[in-house]
Amino acid sequence: MTLDAARERLIIALDVPTVAEAAAVVDDLGDTGLFYKIGYHLAFAGGLDLARELTAAGKRVFLDMKLLDIDNTVAKGVEAVARTGVSMLTVHAYPKTMTVAVEAARGTELCLLGVTVLTSMDDHDLSDAGYHDTAAMLVMKRARAAQLAGMGGIVCSAAEAEGVREIVGHDMAVVTPGIRPSGAAAGDQKRIVTPGEAVASGASHLVVGRPIVGAGDRKSAVIGILTEMSSAFSE
């Protein structure tokens, strides 16, 4: 896979507190960055307007809202997001929620992603929350539910990507956060892997934030990750 093709699969997380900081990252990366994630932190600080600006400029946007609510609220939310022109939107991988979201997005190009288990959570965290399944078991259950609902893909740790890929086949996106290049700090992530390991495990898209946004030379950081991804996708 070429570096240009890998750019379509690298999602740069704009996990910064202000639109000005996010815009500075985008400007700094220029054509090196193509696909950006906007989550709660930035969305609540004006990031939804930035999402529209990015799509208008030819960039792709992954809106990480993790929707979960009553059916009508989820449906109206998905419909509104689809009109912004963003490429991806997350909802929690509850069967009913996903079914409603899929119907609301029908006829649009919006790719819906089911969030399985947050990468900041491990088996102990799930036990504390009242779940009897391990993280891996719950991810696989929710991957099956996402496939049955007709979702465009799922979000999971790269540690579970291989098993998920076996369940969903090759048509669905498998988006993996918690990616850390060799030598990078883990931060608050508990289930992390390198870009090459994620691709080898079956991930189609990688979400990388702090190793890029916090780098002294952001372009070089992106190119290094793209190079590793390109090599892994070609193997």
Q: Which residues are annotated as a binding site for substrate?
A: 15, 37, 64-73, 119, 180, 189, 209-210
Is 59 a residue of the active site? no
SS3 176: strand
Binding-site residue ranges: 15, 37, 64-73, 119, 180, 189, 209-210
Instruction: Considering the candidates 59, 66, 141, 219, report the single residue annotated as catalytic.
Output: 66
C-alpha torsion 197→200→203→209, nearest 10: 30
d(CA 171, CA 178): 23
Alpha helical stretches, state H, the chain: 3-7, 19-29, 40-42, 48-56, 71-82, 95-105, 123-128, 135-149, 161-168, 195-200, 210-213, 218-234
Is 141 a residue of the active site? no
Instruction: Considering the candidates 69, 122, 123, 125, report the single residue annotated as catalytic.
Output: 69
SS3 201: coil
d(CA 58, CA 53): 9
Strand partners, 36: 12, 61
Is 69 a residue of the active site? yes
Active site residues: 64, 66, 69
